[in-house]
Amino acid sequence: MIRFENVSVTYDGAADPTVRGVDLTIPEGELVLLAGPSGAGKSTLLGTVSGLVPHFTGGTLRGRVTVDGRDTRTHKPRELADVVGTVGQDPLSHFVTDTVEEELAYGMESLGLAPAVMRRRVEETLDLLGLADLRDRPIATLSGGQQQRVAIGSVLTPHPRVLVLDEPTSALDPAAAEEVLAVLLRLVHDLGTTVLLAEHRLERVLQYADQVALLPAPGAAPVLGDPADLMAVSPVYPPVVDLGRLAGWSPLPLTVRDARRRAGALRERLRDRTPPAGREAPEVPAPLPRPPAVHRWRRRRADPAAAAPAAVAEVRSLAVRRGRVQALRRVGLTVAPGETVALMGRNGAGKSTLLGTLVGLVEPSAGTVRVGGAVPHRTAPRELVRRVGLVPQEPRDLLYADTVAAECAAADRDADAEPGTCRALVSELLPGIADDVHPRDLSEGQRLTLALAVVLTARPPLLLLDEPTRGLDYAAKARLVVVLRELASAGHAIVLATHDVELAAELAHRVVLLAEGEVIADGPTPEVVVSSPSYAPQVTKILAPQPWLTVAQVREALR
Amino acid sequence: MTDHPSAADRSDHLPARHPRTSHDARPVHPAAWWLWSLSLGTAATRTTNPLLLALLVATSAYVVQASRPHTPWSRSYSAFVKLAVTVLLVRLVFAVALGSPIPGTHTLVTLPEVPLPRWAQGIRIGGDLTAEALLFALYDGLKLATLLVCVGAANALASPTRLLKTLPGALYETGVAVVVALTFAPHLIADVHRLRAARRLRGRPDRGLRGLLQVGLPVLEGALERSVALAAAMDARGYGRTADLPAALRRTTTALTLGGLLGVCAGTYGLLTAEGGTYGVPVLLAGVAAALAGLWLGGRRSPRTRYRPDTWNARSCLVAASGTAVAALLTAAAASDPAALHPGVVPLVAPVLPLGPAAAVLLGLLPAFLAPAKPPRHKEQPS
């Protein structure tokens, strides 16, 4: 269906090709997962299938890509539109019209299908993707998962024979991701659609893939093969594969179910051991850099009860209304120094709003919020950065300057820190970021690190991260985990809103589950995630009923 | 025709087996709504009678309330009302501050007059404020405000994007480009809000002009990137596909369009010059016909089709007719009875509601009963 013949792509101004030596044939009706570390050229390879590379991005494509017999060199993307459906990383930048129904019809209108056909296919697609109740809704009011489904639906209606998806589940909560994947699987099974998708969160997708195309490193030739064979050598792998490698299982299990069948012996070996301690929240607050005396005086005047705060942040019966929507209601949360809390819940459950109230971006409509004794939305920004820092969902929002060095200098000025503080933090967190690079040209992981360093320059005792692992590969995620653990042991309290159950399992002392703006569970990580089917990490599912969360714990215990 | 669309509504939840059921409640054509609203606006320009103008505003407000669809665009009505009030206030402030040429005898207050140099003769700042001048400004401002409210009604009842979609095939692609440009502004505003919030996270003040200026560059950068991403997405979804047409047909299209435009120019010239009275009208008509034919042929170059196009049905006719009737009747009334439609301010008299024109304005209420809005199918959910 898709044939790559000795393809290499070199972008303008780049010294080396981004991908080279690609010789693959993807047969019809297969779900092929494109895996590899960041920067290995996954998006570029996906772009060559729809013709957007090089027709839209520029650069030079050598070799030949044919889709359903059409050569992308001679066919522009619009002439491939009836064969290839493409959904990019950000569904919002994909939408042309403003309501669901019109969006589903847009592609068919461009292709000139008969009105009766269009009408039928829109209805079919609405049913297939479970969007029937949303047909008249403006797209801007939909949740992330719904938008992703509309984006997929909008390319499905012309009945393309190939579907190309770039990280379709990375912005979604576990349940919504399952939903989207179920739809893809149905397309592959029922309609024989060929699906090529790239994804960093392999634990969500690997089990559904018929084949894996592995891009092992930047510029290296991809290998297409059986998922189990390739996972044995892959530099990126989900926890289930990690556990399988640790236990020496062969062939490697790819699904939790397969792994459970094999895990009898491992469970036996782990029976007498307990997960290593040290995951409990620190009882005694670690010493923190105290704010100058003036601030303490002000704080005392603001709230006499908080004279000796045991908690870095305290939220009591908080409610937030946005227009007619009740975003949060009766939310209570206390964060102690040195504690890491994971906020989890559906897209639109109110996680980001809660983080917003903690940094004063959102004004509560009822209840109280205290961060280091101050009321966030009434505190001047210059004061507030010393108490709390937020790394937003899109770290780029924080970065304005042209170069990393200028960004760091600005951060030092903003925080009244010693010149060089921020730069030293960047080098400490992730060595190898050059001074003169534009923040836009950094990789996702590097950009996140830079934003984190900018926020940490003011040494806030409370650090908030909104969806930090979106777009990060396993290596970048592992580095982030190490960095955040060190910060926590240095006494920083960390609150992270995330959909990534594996990250929460690695890091969090406590998990707070939100639903419809309310806290529905708040407790130590093992207690909360073990009991939940969608929020349990893979290792927990495999080794249940034993309370193991991560491969690292198992590795430690077996040593 | 005035059937409530609830039956059709329910059928939408059924699978695709009965695709035609929801056609029963076909919405009114957007052009009909625009014609109705703009006719009301035209009617507003025919009179300065505040009672008639208030009646026009009330009519449009009632119809908007009864018939507007549940889309984000339909909320634009209140924005237009606010704009109209602002315009009215500005007009009054100008009348108070700059004086007015209306001669008046009922002085309300005397403001201190700013002495101006000789070259600024004819301009006055401050001075006597008469009831006549104030009333004149009020009538005048009210006329403009009513016009704005009518445009707002058009926006709320049928968004301009829906109107653009009814363009002929050859202009459709341009229409889509305009639609995309229209959605650009809200995105830009959202970006500014987000980036100003991010400034707060950096410990910089998030308010004030400087804050706005500093996020300018990142906002434009982001907007540009999003445009490129959208262009790529549109291209990948087949935007701008062209059908292969025989060369002869393409040449005919070009010839017709160019010839038609030339004909329009020549015809207009003929109409405007003294000696061209004979050939002006026929050449103009021939030019328009040729240009339209060229446009129609050009539409065949684009293979695109329409999904559930808005059709011009009987209800659309009635909606458009009710608006046009209001405009026509008020124009006629303005010609036959100018005194009633333009109540004098010198001497000061209370305006009277002329019954005939008032009844004519009430004709504009017809759409509220012809095309009531569908009830929302579901509650709004948080995004």
A367-385 as b/e: b if 16+ CB within 10 A: bebbbbbbbbbebebbbbb
Q: Please calculate the CA angle A145-A151-A108 and round it to the nearest 5 degrees.
A: 150
Among B161, B194, B237, whose Cβ lies nearest the Cβ of A110?
B237
Look up residue A95 and give its two tokens.
Answer: 């939408």
* pLDDT band at residue B125 using 50, 70 and 90 as cut-offs: confident
**Last residue of one domain, picked from the residues A234, A252, A271:** A234
CA distance A24 to chain B (A): 22
The beta strands (E) that lie in B80-225 are given as 107-114, 125-130
Closest to A95 in 3D by CA, of A42, A52, A142, A128: A142
Residue A297 lies in a domain: yes
Give A106's contacts in chain B (Cβ within 8 Å).
Answer: 237, 307
Residue A256 lies in a domain: no
Residue A261 lies in a domain: no
Mean pLDDT of A375-396: 89
Burial of A553 (0-12, 13-18, 19+ CB in 10 A): buried
* pLDDT band at residue B325 using 50, 70 and 90 as cut-offs: very high
- pLDDT (tens digit, 9 = 90+) per residue, A97-151? 888 999 999 999 889 899 999 999 999 999 888 888 888 888 887 877 788 889 9
Distances (CA, A) of B165 to B27, B42, B309: 14, 25, 8
- pLDDT (tens digit, 9 = 90+) per residue, A410-431? 899 888 888 988 998 888 888 8
Interface touch B201/A390, C-beta < 8 Å: yes
- Where are the domains positioned within chain B? 27-163+312-370, 247-299
Q: Which helix (H) or strand (E) holds B66?
A: helix B50-67
- pLDDT (tens digit, 9 = 90+) per residue, A529-554? 887 888 899 999 999 888 889 999 99
Among A361, A410, A458, whose Cβ lies nearest the Cβ of B197?
A361
Give A517's contacts in chain B (Cβ within 8 Å).
Answer: 382
A515–B contact, CB cutoff 8 A: no
Of all residues in chain A, the percent with pLDDT exceeding 70 is 94
**Whether residue A190 is found in the same domain as residue A297:** no
Residue A71 has pLDDT above 80, yes or no: yes
Which pLDDT value is given to residue B278?
Answer: 75
CA distance A105 to chain B (A): 6
Closest to A558 in 3D by CA, of A276, A327, A311: A276
Interface touch A361/B309, C-beta < 8 Å: no
CA distance A413 to A407: 10
Interface touch A115/B239, C-beta < 8 Å: no
Residue A283 has pLDDT above 80, yes or no: no
Interface touch B15/A84, C-beta < 8 Å: no
ipTM of the complex: 0.81
CA distance A57 to chain B (A): 9
Interface touch A360/B200, C-beta < 8 Å: yes
* 3-state SS, residue A127: helix
Whether A42 contacts A448, CB under 8 Å: no
CA B189 to centroid of chain Cα atoms: 22
Which pLDDT value is given to residue B331?
Answer: 92
Distances (CA, A) of B129 to A169, A199, B350: 68, 72, 19
A135–B contact, CB cutoff 8 A: yes
CA distance B300 to chain A (A): 11
DSSP string, B286-317: HHHHHHHHHHHHHHTTS----SSPPP--HHHH
* pLDDT band at residue A272 using 50, 70 and 90 as cut-offs: confident
A378–B contact, CB cutoff 8 A: no
Interface touch A78/B235, C-beta < 8 Å: yes
CA A261 to centroid of chain Cα atoms: 30
Whether A338 contacts A526, CB under 8 Å: no
CA distance A5 to A28: 17
Give B231's contacts in chain A (Cβ within 8 Å).
Answer: 56
CATH of the domain at A477: 3.40.50.300
A106–B contact, CB cutoff 8 A: yes
**Whether residue A386 is found in the same domain as residue A506:** yes
Residue A15 lies in a domain: yes
CA distance A135 to chain B (A): 9
Which pLDDT value is given to residue B277?
Answer: 63
Interface touch B241/A107, C-beta < 8 Å: no
Whether A139 contacts A150, CB under 8 Å: yes
CA distance A381 to chain B (A): 4
Interface touch B236/A135, C-beta < 8 Å: no
Distances (CA, A) of A388 to A32, A44, A465, B377: 43, 38, 11, 43
Give B236's contacts in chain A (Cβ within 8 Å).
Answer: 50-52, 77-78, 80-81, 84, 86
CA distance A324 to chain B (A): 8
Strands A162-166 and A194-198: parallel
* 3-state SS, residue A405: helix
Give the largest CA-CA distance in chain B.
82
Residue A138 lies in a domain: yes
Mean pLDDT of B243-260: 84
Mean pLDDT of B266-275: 79
Q: Which helix (H) or strand (E) holds A480?
A: helix A474-489
| A-B Cβ pairs (cutoff 8 Å, strict) | 191
Interface touch A79/B218, C-beta < 8 Å: no
A107–B contact, CB cutoff 8 A: yes
Give A154's contacts in chain B (Cβ within 8 Å).
Answer: 237
pTM for the structure as a whole: 0.78
**Whether residue A227 is found in the same domain as residue A349:** no
Q: List A residues 322-361 in contact with B (Cβ-Cβ < 8 A).
A: 322, 324-327, 348, 359-361
Average pLDDT, chain A: 87
Q: Which of B14, B162, B235, B300 best tests the A interface by mutation, with the highest count of A CBs <10 A? A: B235
- pLDDT (tens digit, 9 = 90+) per residue, A210-269? 999 999 988 888 999 999 999 999 999 999 999 999 999 988 999 999 999 999 889 988
Average pLDDT, chain B: 81
- pLDDT (tens digit, 9 = 90+) per residue, A492-538? 999 999 999 999 999 999 999 999 899 999 999 988 888 788 889 99
Closest to B349 in 3D by CA, of B136, B141, B92, B144: B136
Residue A61 lies in a domain: yes
Look up residue A466 and give its two tokens.
Answer: 């909104």
**Whether residue A205 is found in the same domain as residue A353:** no
The dihedrals phi and psi of B294, each to the nearest 5 degrees, come to -60, -40
CA distance B241 to chain A (A): 6
Residue B106 has pLDDT above 90, yes or no: no
Interface touch B194/A325, C-beta < 8 Å: no
A76–B contact, CB cutoff 8 A: yes
Residue A265 lies in a domain: no
CA distance A123 to B160: 26
CA distance A351 to chain B (A): 12
Residue B37 has pLDDT above 80, yes or no: yes
CA B367 to centroid of chain Cα atoms: 17
CA distance A22 to A45: 9
Q: Which of A52, A76, A102, A110 best tests the B interface by mutation, with the highest count of B CBs <10 A? A: A110
Give A414's contacts in chain B (Cβ within 8 Å).
Answer: 202-204
* B88/B204: higher pLDDT: B88
Residue A245 lies in a domain: no
Mean pLDDT of A301-309: 42
CA distance B382 to A322: 9
Number of domains in chain A: 2
Which pLDDT value is given to residue B159?
Answer: 80
Interface touch A115/B232, C-beta < 8 Å: no
A80–B contact, CB cutoff 8 A: yes
CA distance A507 to chain B (A): 24
Give first-to-last CA distance, chain A, whole Å.
48
Which pLDDT value is given to residue B25?
Answer: 60
Give A460's contacts in chain B (Cβ within 8 Å).
Answer: none
Interface touch B15/A127, C-beta < 8 Å: yes
CA distance A139 to chain B (A): 9
Among A118, A132, A392, whose Cβ lies nearest the Cβ of B307?
A118
Give A80's contacts in chain B (Cβ within 8 Å).
Answer: 236
Residue B13 has pLDDT above 50, yes or no: no
Mean pLDDT of A434-443: 84
Closest to B326 in 3D by CA, of B362, B290, B275: B362
Interface touch B72/A138, C-beta < 8 Å: yes
Which pLDDT value is given to residue B107?
Answer: 84
Interface touch B240/A93, C-beta < 8 Å: no
Which pLDDT value is given to residue B275?
Answer: 67
* pLDDT band at residue A277 using 50, 70 and 90 as cut-offs: low
Whether B36 contacts B66, CB under 8 Å: no
**Whether residue A227 is found in the same domain as residue A347:** no
State the residue range of the domain holding A484. 293-304+338-363+374-558
Give A112's contacts in chain B (Cβ within 8 Å).
Answer: 241, 243, 303-305
**Whether residue A421 is found in the same domain as residue A541:** yes
Q: List A residues 33-52 in contact with B (Cβ-Cβ < 8 A).
A: 50-52
Interface touch A119/B238, C-beta < 8 Å: no
